[in-house]
């Protein structure tokens, strides 16, 4: 696993090391580390994507100092981004990689097929079987130290979700999409701003 050096990756680092040492102690971690930190600027795919996203979809109506704007932003855009990631994952794992005869890695195949049956594509299964009880114990330890998973994956307060949903129904707004998201943002921000004042 590779990540940038953000503080949010500390647990991932520790768990990757623990899982590797427990499930595959025979693998030389000096040659094949379980985790490696890289600078975020070397994560070129995501860094390039943020600039594209700002240029293509960026608007100036968002005020990061306004708490209402932050809540609306989370309420609208987190589900849109998650849906996009889910769709991309399905697409990427099911698309055919172009044939590259000089490459060592499989090409001309579909990633899902290669991962499900590497031998039929000239590879070997190097997956490491991990004891599910060990994973459960690590998850429990993390929850004891940091709080529940739900708590950390819940970006929008339940009260705000109810308020935004109510306003959306009152204004007869469509479901958020990339095409209408900023219009919805502006309408809800205006409406909630008037209610707060």
Instruction: List the domain boundaries for the chain.
Output: 1-58, 59-196
In this structure, are residues 37 and 146 in contact, taking their beta carbons and an 8 Å threshold?
A: no
The alpha carbons of the chain give a radius of gyration, in whole angstroms, of 22
pLDDT value of position 105: 78
What is the three-state SS of 93-145?
HHCCCCCCCCCCCCCCCCHHHHHHCHHHHCCCCCCCCCCHHHHHHHHHHHHHH
User: Counting every residue, how long is the chain?
Assistant: 197
User: 3-class DSSP state for residue 5?
Assistant: coil
pLDDT value of position 197: 46
CA distance 86 to 17: 27
CA distance 57 to 65: 20
pLDDT value of position 48: 62
**CA end-to-end span of the chain, whole Å?**
48
Which residue positions in the chain have pLDDT lower than 50?
197
The neighbouring-strand residues paired with 37 are 3
Tell me which H or E stretch contains 28.
Answer: none
């Amino acid at each position: 696993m590779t990540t940038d050096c953000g503080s949010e990756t500390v647990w991932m680092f520790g768990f990757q090391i623990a899982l590797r040492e427990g499930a595959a102690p025979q693998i030389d971690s000096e040659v094949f580390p379980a985790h490696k930190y890289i600078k975020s600027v070397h994560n070129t795919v995501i860094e390039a994507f943020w600039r594209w996203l700002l240029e293509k979809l960026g608007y100036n109506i968002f005020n990061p100092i306004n708490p209402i704007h932050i809540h609306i932003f989370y309420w609208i855009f987190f589900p849109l981004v998650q849906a996009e990631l889910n769709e991309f994952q399905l697409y990427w794992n099911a698309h055919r990689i172009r044939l590259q005869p000089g490459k060592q890695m499989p090409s001309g195949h579909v990633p899902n097929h290669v991962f499900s049956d590497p031998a039929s594509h000239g590879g070997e299964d190097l997956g490491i079987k991990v004891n599910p009880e060990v994973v459960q114990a690590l998850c429990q330890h993390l929850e004891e130290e940091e709080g529940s998973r739900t708590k950390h994956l819940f970006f929008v307060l339940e009260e705000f979700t109810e308020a935004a949903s109510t306003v959306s129904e009152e204004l007869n707004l469509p479901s958020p999409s990339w095409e209408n998201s900023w219009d919805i943002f502006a309408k809800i921000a205006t409406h909630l701003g008037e209610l707060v004042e």
